[in-house]
Chain A
């Protein structure tokens, strides 16, 4: 278990979004859809959670996708293929509860599309019909469209600027399907406002909806409680009790507020440190 977590492959998916293949044979063997990892790119970086997008047991690798938003993701983007990330633990969290529901709407927004892919694959493998709805600000920010299209019966795109698919939010594409009673189950992963909007919409139709939450995390093993979310009026730790919860029970406002906790510190750090390191793959 003394792994060296080398970056085997590095791919740029959009201006700020990267896909890495990392050497992590023990995790590759164990992970299932819905699991995440915590990694620390450099010795003086933060620990950040990232969903495992895919794995290859034979190669002993896992894939992650991340967007450069702060100092730590910038540290990560600055590493070159062949270099290791300093620390990496996983697989963390409960895997997705996979069942055959019938037609499942897989709703992803922004980099939330990354965690959606393995979940979609697992639902597909369980014999569900998949309707996939992907949203982003613009076409250039849509990721994994091909991979999801290859396992979906239908793919609907929405963009804020109309550069791909329908102009508007994912809910605009989802609503007619709900009205038509076409959807038996919804899985939504993306920015908090998107997940909240999906939850509010599906609640009215009584369609069971799960979301994968993305709170701040530190240790990822139940020790610190920074990831605590309010679910059905109770405090739940996303790292060991989640990260997936019933969307109709989640207090999204609490989650959204808690995600802003260190925004000023992050901004100061982003501005203090020049964008160092090479972005070359």
Chain B
């Protein structure tokens, strides 16, 4: 049989239209397109795509059910490996993971695994396919700290094993970065995040919002006074980093977390309907080259009155950590890319409002410790870029609250939690995973850590290996 190299195309909103709305950009595959794409898979004896997935989802297994026209079975299969497929299908960098490893990638037409994962995940949510019930209830209570992707995954895994699981969330809404960080146009809260959480609630997971573990109850109190058998810490990295250049405290210089939280969590994107303001003016500069920077830039573009959004990144497009698709979408929508450029200072007017970024052009020298070519300033290349607002999206650090209030934990020099390969911290019965261990990483790695830790907890509590 000849190779079918007609990779399915994800339908998307027209750029001219979507750059002014917050609805999802990608529209999803229909059942027939999904079936055809799954039929294109070669079903390799040794599937390299599975090696390319950080959590080793059995990709051919769920694809085969799709090919056979049984999306229900496909959903059951993927949920064995991934409790949040509708989310991963949307936000995973497939082009550097499973799709990169697909043998058809050599021919330039890898299977659209991400699009198929999204299709299956959405199918499960649409059909309201019940999650796998626990075979038997267990009496042990487990506390999960943080309701982001890592905490949700760990909660789901433990609940399936019959544990009594409570997820504590500091904010008033659940989902962590899925809710406050990733914008609506990339990940719908109402269509995807909330239903995924409801699936866990139906399974019997208990959620407690407005609960700042550490300040309210400490980890030690959860274990002793409140009778939890174990705790999983998944509080994320979420402590914004600034550049340390002059003028960063000027008005309308936001951290990406602040900017996105105002827009997503506090729903400032519903202009005039939400009480929480966000002010951007006409010209917005976003500093950084990761997914968060692109999320901020594309969110800014969608706000009323915004005319220009400049993405300021100190390396070239090749070194950008963002997903290829986000870069492509951002270009189509009209984001202005100022590559090989870095702000060295922000200047303001007499009221202390941002007026401009003083930028310098960069050249790439030899690779640094990260393996990426190190940017060095070009002498005499400084210029002023007039801006009404700026968003700093250069990464995050470890949130200090748990470390401040839990003396028994071992920390890395950067304040992240030290764990073994299974997620065990230095404190007995306390586990951790996701960005609070790894530093800023991906949703899928955070989910993988949640699953690994859940299995380690089960082993430590029962002696049973999964």
Chain B residues whose CB sits within 8 angstroms of the CB of A222 once the complex forms: 238-239, 399-401
Whether A258 touches B261, Cβ cut-off 8 Å, given contacts A30-B215, A87-B210, A89-B210, is: no
Whether A89 touches B255, Cβ cut-off 8 Å, given contacts A222-B239, A258-B249, is: no
A180 within 8 A of B: no
B90 within 8 A of A: no
Greatest chain B CB density within 10 A among A47, A219, A224, A261 is at A224
B212 near A265: Cβ-Cβ < 8 Å: no
In the complex, what residue of chain A is closest to B250 when comparing beta carbons? A257
Minimum CB–CB distance for B264 against chain A, Å: 12
Query: Which of B211, B217, B240, B351 contacts A224, CB < 8 Å?
Result: B240
Task: Tell me how many residues of B have a C-beta within 8 Å of chain A.
Answer: 42
B79 within 8 A of A: no
Minimum CB–CB distance for B446 against chain A, Å: 16
A254 near B266: Cβ-Cβ < 8 Å: no
Whether A254 touches B249, Cβ cut-off 8 Å, given contacts A89-B170, A262-B279, is: yes
B275 within 8 A of A: yes
Stretch at the interface among A54-62, A126-134, A185-193, A225-233: A225-233
Whether A218 touches B279, Cβ cut-off 8 Å, given contacts A30-B215, A87-B209, A260-B251, is: no
A218 near B262: Cβ-Cβ < 8 Å: yes
Query: Which of A86, A230, A261, A266 contacts B251, CB < 8 Å?
Result: A261
Minimum CB–CB distance for B349 against chain A, Å: 10
Whole-angstrom CA separation of A45 from B274 in the bound complex: 7
Binding site secondary structure of chain A: mixed
B27 within 8 A of A: no
B216 near A91: Cβ-Cβ < 8 Å: yes
A226 near B258: Cβ-Cβ < 8 Å: yes
B274 near A223: Cβ-Cβ < 8 Å: no
The 8 A CB mask of B204-216 against A (1 = contact, 0 = none) is: 0000111110011
B352 within 8 A of A: yes
A44 near B273: Cβ-Cβ < 8 Å: yes
The 8 A CB mask of A31-75 against B (1 = contact, 0 = none) is: 000000000100011110000000000000000000000011001
Query: Which of B216, B266, B399, B401 contacts A26, CB < 8 Å?
Result: B216
Query: Which of B208, B212, B266, B276 contacts A221, CB < 8 Å?
Result: B212
B170 near A221: Cβ-Cβ < 8 Å: yes
Whether A258 touches B352, Cβ cut-off 8 Å, given contacts A86-B172, A223-B239, is: yes
B:174-226 near A, CB below 8 Å: 180, 208-212, 215-217
B248 within 8 A of A: yes
Query: Which of A30, A72, A218, A264 contacts B216, CB < 8 Å?
Result: A30
A240 within 8 A of B: yes
Chain A residues whose CB sits within 8 angstroms of the CB of B238 once the complex forms: 222-223
Chain B residues whose CB sits within 8 angstroms of the CB of A243 once the complex forms: none
Minimum CB–CB distance for B287 against chain A, Å: 14
A218 near B275: Cβ-Cβ < 8 Å: no
A92 within 8 A of B: yes
Chain B residues whose CB sits within 8 angstroms of the CB of A92 once the complex forms: 212, 215
Greatest chain B CB density within 10 A among A71, A221, A237 is at A221
B83 within 8 A of A: no
Whether A1 touches B400, Cβ cut-off 8 Å, given contacts A44-B273, A218-B262, is: no
Instruction: Categorize the interface residue count of chain A.
Output: 35 or more
Whole-angstrom CA separation of A261 from B249 in the bound complex: 11
Query: Which of A90, A225, A229, A254 contacts B240, CB < 8 Å?
Result: A225
A183 within 8 A of B: no
Chain A residues whose CB sits within 8 angstroms of the CB of B172 once the complex forms: 40, 47, 86-87, 89
Whole-angstrom CA separation of A87 from B265 in the bound complex: 14
Whole-angstrom CA separation of A235 from B248 in the bound complex: 9
Whole-angstrom CA separation of A71 from B404 in the bound complex: 34
Whole-angstrom CA separation of A3 from B251 in the bound complex: 36
Query: Which of B258, B266, B277, B351 contacts A262, CB < 8 Å?
Result: B277
B438 within 8 A of A: no
A223 near B240: Cβ-Cβ < 8 Å: yes
Whole-angstrom CA separation of A26 from B215 in the bound complex: 10
Whole-angstrom CA separation of A225 from B258 in the bound complex: 7
A27 within 8 A of B: yes
Greatest chain B CB density within 10 A among A46, A88, A237 is at A46
Whole-angstrom CA separation of A46 from B273 in the bound complex: 12
B:247-287 near A, CB below 8 Å: 248-252, 254-255, 257-258, 261-262, 266, 273-277, 279
Whole-angstrom CA separation of A27 from B249 in the bound complex: 32
Whether A90 touches B215, Cβ cut-off 8 Å, given contacts A40-B172, A225-B242, A265-B277, is: yes
Chain A residues whose CB sits within 8 angstroms of the CB of B212 once the complex forms: 89-90, 92, 221
B171 near A219: Cβ-Cβ < 8 Å: yes
Whether A235 touches B242, Cβ cut-off 8 Å, given contacts A44-B274, A224-B257, A230-B249, is: yes
Chain A residues whose CB sits within 8 angstroms of the CB of B266 once the complex forms: 46-47, 218
Chain A residues whose CB sits within 8 angstroms of the CB of B215 once the complex forms: 30, 90-92
The 8 A CB mask of A234-272 against B (1 = contact, 0 = none) is: 010100100000000001011001101110111001000
Pick 19 A–B contacts, CB within 8 A, sort by A.
A1-B210, A46-B275, A47-B172, A88-B210, A90-B212, A90-B216, A218-B261, A221-B399, A223-B180, A223-B240, A223-B261, A224-B255, A224-B258, A225-B239, A240-B399, A258-B251, A258-B352, A264-B279, A266-B277
The 7 closest A-B pairs by CB, nearest first: A257-B352, A265-B277, A224-B258, A87-B172, A225-B255, A225-B240, A261-B251
Besides A87-B210, A222-B238, 20 other CB < 8 A contacts? A1-B216, A30-B215, A44-B274, A45-B275, A88-B210, A89-B170, A218-B261, A218-B262, A218-B266, A218-B276, A219-B170, A221-B170, A221-B401, A222-B400, A222-B401, A223-B257, A226-B258, A251-B249, A258-B249, A258-B251
Give A residues with C-beta under 8 Å from B: 1-3, 26-27, 30, 40, 44-47, 71-72, 75, 86-92, 218-219, 221-226, 228-230, 235, 237, 240, 251, 253-254, 257-258, 260-262, 264-266, 269
